[in-house]
Amino acid sequence: MGDYETEYPPRDLAAGAFVTRLGPSPTGFIHLGNLFMAIVNARLARQSGGVFFLRIEDTDRKRETEGAVSGLIEALSYFGVEFDEGPGAAGAGAGDVAGEIGNYGPYFQSERGEIYRAYARRLVLEGKAYPCFLSEERIAEIRAEQEAAKELPGIYGKYAEFRGVSFEEAQRRVKDGEPYVLRLNAEATGQKEPSLLSDGIRGEVRLQGNVLDVVLLKRDGLPTYHFAHVVDDHLMRTTHVIRGEEWLSSLPVHIALARALGFEPPVYCHTALLMKQDAGGRRKLSKRLDPEAALSYYMADGYHPAAVTEYLLTLINSDFEEWRLSNPEVDNAEFVVRTEKMGAAGMLLDIDKLRDVSRERLARIPAAELAEFILDWAKRERPDVYAVLKENEGRLAAALDIGRQGDKPRKDLVYAAQIFDFVSYFFDEYFCLADPLPENVSESDAADLLRGYSATYDHSDAPAGWFEKIRELAEAHGFAARPKDFKNNPGKYKGHVGDVSAVIRRALTGRLNAPDIYEVQQVLGEERTRRRLVI
Question: Which residues belong to the active site?
Answer: 287
3-state SS, residue 106: coil
The radius of gyration of the chain from alpha carbons, rounded to an integer in Å, stands at: 32
CA distances from 13 to 8, 19, 372 (A): 14, 9, 39
Sign of the C-alpha dihedral, residues 332, 338, 341, 342? positive
Do 270 and 298 meet the contact criterion of CB atoms below 8 Å apart? no
Closest CA to 41 of 21, 16, 11: 21
Provide the β-strand partners of residue 54: 22
Sign of the C-alpha dihedral, residues 85, 91, 96, 101? negative
Closest CA to 266 of 299, 298, 294, 243: 243
CA distances from 535 to 85, 435, 438, 449, 508 (A): 63, 16, 17, 10, 12
Strands 181-184 and 129-132: antiparallel
Listed in sequence order, the DSSP H helices in 317-457 are 320-326, 351-362, 367-381, 383-391, 393-401, 416-423, 443-456
What's the rounded Cα separation, in Å, for the pair 291 and 295?
9
What's the rounded Cα separation, in Å, for the pair 82 and 138?
47
DSSP letter string over 456-497? H--TT--HHHHHHHHHHHHHHTTEESSHHHHHH-GGG-SEEH
What's the rounded Cα separation, in Å, for the pair 223 and 477?
83
Query: b vs e for 494-509, b when ≥16 Cβ sit within 10 Å of the residue's Cβ?
Result: bbbbbbbbbbbbbbbb
Q: At what angle do helices 383-391 and 393-401 cross, to 10 degrees?
A: 90
What's the rounded Cα separation, in Å, for the pair 20 and 40?
9
What's the rounded Cα separation, in Å, for the pair 57 and 205?
27
Do 51 and 71 meet the contact criterion of CB atoms below 8 Å apart? no
Do 445 and 439 meet the contact criterion of CB atoms below 8 Å apart? no
What's the rounded Cα separation, in Å, for the pair 46 and 334?
11
Chain centroid offset of residue 378 CA: 20
Closest CA to 217 of 314, 303, 140, 113: 113
Do 225 and 59 meet the contact criterion of CB atoms below 8 Å apart? yes
